[in-house]
Amino acid sequence: MKSDFLYPHKAYHGVTTPENLKFDAMLQYFTQRVDYIVGLETNGKLPSVEAFEKIQSLWEQLDNLKKELGIGKSSSNGDQK
């Protein structure tokens, strides 16, 4: 299917919580967008500086979501979320 090729989706294999699923979806979006940006930059369709800025912006969005959702913070018993 064409959409599977253009928008591959990997199954989530971690602890299933709404926060983890939301972060996983954003992480997949991040990787897909970075892949497109790198392709455009490699083929000369996007200047390197602009590609870097776009990827940096995406990274900041991902990092902010991670902090907002509390992903990666240790719980009281020392386990990871």
**Tens digits of residue pLDDT in 7-61:** 556 677 778 899 998 999 999 999 999 999 999 999 999 999 999 999 999 999 9
Position 77 scores a pLDDT of 46
In a domain, 7, yes or no: no
Residue bearing tokens 């590609």: 51
- φ, ψ of residue 74 in degrees (nearest 5): -75, 140
In a domain, 78, yes or no: no
Under the banding of pLDDT at 50, 70 and 90, the label for residue 72 is confident
pLDDT at 81 over 50: no
**Domain range for 35:** 17-69
Position 70 scores a pLDDT of 94
pTM, to two decimals: 0.75
In a domain, 74, yes or no: no
Eight-class DSSP state of 44: T
In a domain, 4, yes or no: no
